[in-house]
Amino acid sequence: MNVTPKTLRRLSELDAAGLTPANQRDALEKVAAQYAVAITPATAALIDRADPNDPIARQFVPDAAELATRSEERADPIGDDAHSPVPGIVHRYPDRVLLKLTHVCAVYCRFCFRREMVGPGAEPLTAKQLDAAVDYIGVHPGIWEVILTGGDPLVLSPRRIKNVMSRLAAIEHVKVVRVHTRVPVADPDRITREMVRALKLKGKATYVVLHANHARELTDAARQACARMIDAGIPMLSQSVLLAGVNDDAQTLGALMRALVENRIKPYYLHHGDLAPGTSHLRTSVEHGQHLMRALHGRLSGLCQPGYVLDIPGGFGKSPIGPVYLSRDSAGNIQVEDFNGASHCYPPTT
């Protein structure tokens, strides 16, 4: 009899799958007690058990290093709470809001900036809270875009997704709905034709933003899941997090960006690691991130260039932090640097 693989949620299950070192068991018990653990069968199948530095494992398998919290780290590193007028809504920017439908994910990333609030014990929005959130969007005509996030909205059923999308579609001033998700790579079977139909809005634009950090995550099944959405007319973008030991070299990062573009997914954001508790072992320096962006510039197609951004701690929003190619000389001329590092003079406008 065939047994359907299940999502690994307990350390004993990770142990049985050969994913955790025996000499870290006590420390990992403490990590798992503090931060949610879930590794789907699709994700577990990607992990190379023979490689102690496997980049997929590094994203999802608990690590004793998560117990080390630095003074600059914060439970709410990007300041969601400061901009949450009603439960489920984050209204940081004038023309768009986040709508956090659930705090549950298909997989739990070890670097998650919401790791203090996501997990199987977290409460989803109640019916009354969802009503209040939709009402908030409805009475603020400046809201042009709604971003469904969480947690991961696509862990919900197509029926629930369709209900939310239909309610947003009825709001005249909402023109765009953006869905942020890891499901197409973490659990691609969930992207059914029914789910795709639920995501489409008549008279509105739907975008799906895929979170992927390594080219190996784009398996055949993941590519097919993305193609189902794209072929149905839903444009896809990507967001990735710059992670030490995962994608922090130019070859690996470039391979990810090319794999995304080859699958009709436009790289959108490369996030600098947020100051979430217990994640310092996964963060790089800003300078290293800028060096990587320089390495991609000019050597990879413009289609492969994401915006390198940092979410300013405290809720002040994202800022681009990519390398700067312009300077001025003593005569006031603009000096512009090309992708080979050579400087060229550009006369100032008079």
Tell me how far CA of residue 286 lies from CA of 70, 194, 290, 316, 326, in angstroms. 17, 42, 6, 18, 19
Tokens 């590193």 belong to residue: 77
User: Could you give the angle at which helices 286-296 and 250-262 cross, rounded to 10 degrees?
Assistant: 60
Active site residue 96: yes
Q: What is the pLDDT of residues 157-214, one digit of tens each?
A: 999 999 999 999 999 999 999 999 999 999 999 999 999 999 998 889 999 999 999 9
Q: Is 146 helix (H, G, I), strand (E, B) or coil?
A: strand
Sign of CA dihedral 57, 62, 64, 70: positive
Question: Sorting pLDDT into bands at 50, 70 and 90, what band is 3?
Answer: low
Active site residue 105: yes
> Which listed residue (9, 15, 93, 264) is catalytic?
93
Determine the average pLDDT of the residues in 321-332: 89
State the alpha helices, DSSP H only, in the chain: 11-16, 25-34, 41-44, 55-60, 127-138, 158-169, 183-186, 193-199, 220-231, 250-262, 286-296
String of b and e for 141-177 (b: at least 16 CB within 10 Å)? eebeebbbbbbbbbbbebebbbebbebbbebeebebb
Active site residue 345: no
pTM listed for this prediction? 0.94
Instruction: Determine if the peptide bond prior to 151 is cis (ω within 30°).
Output: yes
Q: For position 15, what pLDDT does the model report?
A: 93
Q: For position 332, what pLDDT does the model report?
A: 82
Mean pLDDT, all residues of the chain: 94
Contacts of 247 (CB under 8 A, 6+ apart): 55, 213, 214, 240, 253, 256
> Which listed residue (160, 258, 294, 318) is catalytic?
318
Would you call 133 exposed, middle or buried from its count of C-beta atoms within 10 A (0-12, 13-18, 19+)?
buried
Active site residue 109: yes
Active site residue 58: no
- The rounded percent of the chain whose pLDDT value lies above 90 is 87
**For residues 292 and 254, is the Cβ–Cβ distance under 8 A?**
no
Between strands 145-149 and 176-181, the pairing is parallel
Domains and CATH numbers, the chain: 11-65 (no CATH), 81-320 (3.20.20.70)
> Which listed residue (92, 162, 190, 216) is catalytic?
92
Active site residue 268: no
Determine the average pLDDT of the residues in 105-132: 89
String of b and e for 92-130 (b: at least 16 CB within 10 Å)? bbeebbbbbbbbbbbbbbbbbbbbbbbbeebebbeeebb
Rounded Cα–Cα distance for residues 94 and 73 (Å): 27
Active site residue 274: yes
Q: What is the pLDDT of residues 228-255, one digit of tens each?
A: 999 999 999 999 999 999 999 999 999 9
Q: What is the pLDDT of residues 332-345, one digit of tens each?
A: 889 999 998 899 99
> Which listed residue (58, 109, 178, 190) is catalytic?
109
Q: Is 249 helix (H, G, I), strand (E, B) or coil?
A: coil
Active site residue 311: yes
